[in-house]
Structure 1
């Protein structure tokens, strides 16, 4: 009976056998098309200009399509000019408008040539989609004209005249610039069918807020959370340790534009507190990394250093209190404030004493080192309100929740940011929580639930459960068994106060990173998540690939791709490149190695095919295809019900 009820509901959408049959024909045709091209990015770290360029250029694929389409018919210079027009149409056209040496006739001739070239590229990049799907991606005002130009038979003399009249009309009514922009945006839109972000959108770079806006404007996107994302999500949930950490990183990397101009976080109370408490302190260990210039909220580096120190001390206090609340975290070794000998300027770590490089702790009570001073309490209350009342941050975090998860399995690929924690024998490590111990896929699923509780659970329904989930957000940022962190400890204290003792600052990676590079263990992980290892891949971020030292992003006999090549400027010296895009189309997987982005320079990534598929992958072979095939079967059942008279058609 439930099947009949379902078919009756389906019949409301397809009330006649003709309509049901037409939809079957449509779905079967879609299944026979090549799969759309998937793009995988990781560890964007606020590098808005670089990321935006990669999206606009499809990580070099648009440049390749231009060469493929025009070959020797266009010079290298003209191809680059066309590529830059497609990437930045409005800016390029604006420059042309100010060229006083070009006549109206020359301008119109150029516009005709440009439109013809863009139509040719549109035809190439739209070839794997249905005409209706392409039409939906077109801007409404120009959809008719674009559709006609893309599908006219130029061998027909009469149609040639029709084609030319469309273009002449566009130019005559002075709509050529808008039409060119529409074509360029359509090309960008068609080249990337779906976008996968493998974590770490936030921190270090100047504008994570603008990166989020770019991601949210994309038509088909999913996100696998990174530890830096979780830190910001925890801050938005009201976790004060996460808030302090976000601000420590922000003040350290000069990210005042994102904090103040982007998210509207009021940092004046922090700057006033820091200037008063650390007025004579040079704060040498806290000098900011000036990788980017601020445009809107310039802060004197000396003041930024004081702000960084002030929030760092507060962070260590808040983390200490949180660790003491949660003995199940097993982080007692991180309780270092209580191990400081303030009189001698030393700290005891694992039974050995080390000299501190900074001994000025005016707000630390030696008898209660994790207790905030009244001024710090008031400051954190103000900052917490600022984070929780930021409308833009809330909008972005809600998108991270609605489009994000700890992992995703799609088209026989397993996506996650950090690791699946393992022990030294290659077994999945269990994480101990207030709800029990979890490991492998069960751990990832459990954490998905807890992360949602931190934001969505009403504290009035279950105060204790809500607080436990909010606290856990901090552990996921830096806990040794967190799948998002993947290291034995976070050495914030050591980097701030013992940076000359480099061995103390080492953060040892989880054994996962050794084992997952072997095919046997990559297969084990894939099976854990229900994937057939044959033809499957793990796509992973988090750890920068040191290309300049000969490291390869492809491991485990092609089963594992680590695509964090260091988009962040902070990593360029270590990696030698600026990150990777993994591109997965119907014929192959390819890696695009990014160049460090410099505005105005040629930034096309180098693309290398890493794996060719045994046969071209069609839509029917994908996860979407499996859904469409089920829909076809349902429609066939509906047809049978109509034919047998079990359900009446509504003609």
Structure 2
């Protein structure tokens, strides 16, 4: 009789063996002859020697679509660098910049350029077309060198694949082909498809400059167009997502969590983004607005946050948002009381604050200190049962929640978010996660005890990953636990997506003493500067500390602080996309690039506008810092994809032996 200690490894070996057998059967079907097997082995082994393609990391987008879209189009400055590599000695800086803007925004830049050139001599536009096509093809050839012809072909617009390949792979200096190439280019102009060809080629260049995109969470909240970011990601050629705590509110609301829904409504009102909910997702807030107007007045603590470009009529929109924010905040605090009572394993009784108020004296005892409450709006709270919703509130919450769950537009985007997302990702020796790993002061992983089981470290994030999928894919009206766990991810003390002892939303509204507003961070955020601690994290997730890095988002890097920590092994790339953070961070966000030469951290200045780019040639000014430089340039063989290709080669060679 065995002890059972080795059973998990036995199961894993059995699963691996089954997968190998499945792959072998596929190989036998796809390559039924000796010649076919030999050709595929040659192909795969050649691919293994190509340079590693570029990965692009972004984080904490917070609905700032315009800035995100620009960063995506310019590859965090990568396209500009490629243009400089090819044309640096042949084009002036202003022409280089205008050529870059054309590649970022081909449709808009073409229209602007045609308006300019139509005022010049008759053949100026035709000459510009011919020069531009030639330069685009030359740049396309340069950015294609990392890839097989097959992969490049897949990136081409099918309508122009033949012409592009002829231009790409035919040497125009060859005497016999020179007139052939010239005629191809002239035909593009004479047949009136030049614009379409230029647009298609620009997007192909964008796609080849960045092979894969990682989004480290917090797509939602604060900015006004998270739905456009989601649409962009859904059409992107290769992407993965690590969930952020703000994303969890939207997943939770769509999974039937009223508490998550109330949180996101409050944040949307606070940052003047309720229009997104109504316009993008078709969720009517008319009844909420009417209810708020009836029961709440102006309150300075609940006035919406203004950022550059926002303005209000005090008697109109601002007052309405102030009233709505109060209404949903009070319902949120009530439902927190209910959820905390329902989930004793959360150990958050100290955050059921409505239970701790002295309603006669308007005071709150918090951590042994009594605070006077200000700007209160407690008329709908029953002091004898503070967590109970009024019948009108209950009806309103149920109606709103039904609208969230039934919104097809919202569900389409969140289905993508859940299916493409995860709590963390191991990718090419790096550990990607939005928030943190909850630890004690000594760096030991904290336990989360739930329903008689204990989870910590990697096991903890695996548990939450499973629960998020369960809540979204199998919502059950009679089982609150999975949806409650999503709310816990938003603000629980041992949430890997939150990383603080408590969220002090209530205190910020009602207590003047700012000491009560402090949100105490988990020791993780201090320890992540320590190389030994980061090594232990990498080991926990099965990664080699010699080669691996931890890549984080979640916490904006403030002025004077460094985003590169622990001797280059910890990288924090939340630099402040959100305008609400930029007064604190002082710039427009960090991104990260990982190519065959190593990792580069890119710091961006705030984005102005697409119009400013097209008309004035303005780009986001970016500063690069080399995190590490590979002594030996990385190839496909050094990547996760390379490991899978090697396994395929191994299976093919065993087939070859049989033939």
In the alignment, structure 1 residue 589 sits paired with structure 2 residue 599: yes
How far apart are the structure 2 equivalents of 1:455 and 1:14? 40
In the alignment, structure 1 residue 496 sits paired with structure 2 residue 512: no
Farther-moved stretch of structure 1 (623-632 vs 633-642): 633-642
Cα shift readout 1:238-281 (whole Å, capped 9, x = no counterpart): 10000000000001001123211112221111111101111xx2
How far apart are the structure 1 equivalents of 2:358 and 2:46? 74
Of 216, 220, 232, 2:238 maps to 220
Report the secondary structure of 2:600's partner residue: strand
How far apart are the structure 1 equivalents of 2:486 and 2:638? 37
**Alpha carbons 1:59, 1:604 under 8 Å: kept:** no
How far apart are the structure 1 equivalents of 2:629 and 2:81? 18
Q: What runs of 5+ residues in structure 1 fail to find an aligned partner?
A: 643-651
**Alpha carbons 1:438, 1:446 under 8 Å: kept:** yes
In the alignment, structure 1 residue 379 sits paired with structure 2 residue 396: yes
Structure-2 change in CA distance of 1:275 and 1:165 (3 Å): same
**Alpha carbons 1:554, 1:562 under 8 Å: kept:** yes
Find the counterpart in structure 2 of residue 566 from structure 1: 576
Report the secondary structure of 2:581's partner residue: helix
Of 170, 190, 194, 1:176 maps to 194
For normalisation by structure 2, the TM-score amounts to 0.93
Equivalent residues in 2 for 1:171-250, closer than 5 Å? 171-250=189-268
Find the counterpart in structure 1 of residue 3 from structure 2: none
Find the counterpart in structure 2 of residue 26 from structure 1: 43
Cα shift readout 1:442-495 (whole Å, capped 9, x = no counterpart): 1111111111111122539xx44xx21111110110001000000010001011
How far apart are the structure 1 equivalents of 2:287 and 2:309? 23
Find the counterpart in structure 2 of residue 331 from structure 1: 348
How far apart are the structure 2 equivalents of 1:37 and 1:114? 26
In the alignment, structure 1 residue 82 sits paired with structure 2 residue 99: yes
For normalisation by structure 1, the TM-score amounts to 0.94
**Alpha carbons 2:255, 2:475 under 8 Å: kept:** no
Structure-2 change in CA distance of 1:562 and 1:381 (3 Å): same
Of 521, 524, 527, 2:539 maps to 527
**Alpha carbons 2:171, 2:177 under 8 Å: kept:** yes
How far apart are the structure 2 equivalents of 1:343 and 1:102? 79
How far apart are the structure 2 equivalents of 1:231 and 1:45? 13
In the alignment, structure 1 residue 469 sits paired with structure 2 residue 482: yes
Q: When the two structures are aligned, how many residues end up with a matched partner?
A: 631
Equivalent residues in 2 for 1:530-541, closer than 5 Å? 530-541=542-553
Equivalent residues in 2 for 1:45-60, closer than 5 Å? 45-60=62-77
Report the secondary structure of 2:180's partner residue: helix
How far apart are the structure 2 equivalents of 1:320 and 1:623? 46
Cα shift readout 1:18-39 (whole Å, capped 9, x = no counterpart): 1111111111111110011001
**Alpha carbons 1:414, 1:526 under 8 Å: kept:** yes
Q: What runs of 5+ residues in structure 2 fail to find an aligned partner?
A: 1-16, 613-617
Cα shift readout 1:255-311 (whole Å, capped 9, x = no counterpart): 123211112221111111101111xx212111112336689xx97111011001100
Find the counterpart in structure 1 of residue 137 from structure 2: 119
How far apart are the structure 1 equivalents of 2:319 and 2:100? 43
Farther-moved stretch of structure 1 (306-315 vs 20-29): 20-29
Report the secondary structure of 1:590's partner residue: strand
Report the secondary structure of 1:533's partner residue: coil
Of 621, 631, 654, 1:614 maps to 631
Equivalent residues in 2 for 1:265-344, closer than 5 Å? 265-278=283-296, 281-291=297-307, 300-344=317-361
Find the counterpart in structure 2 of residue 110 from structure 1: 128
How far apart are the structure 1 equivalents of 2:494 and 2:352? 18
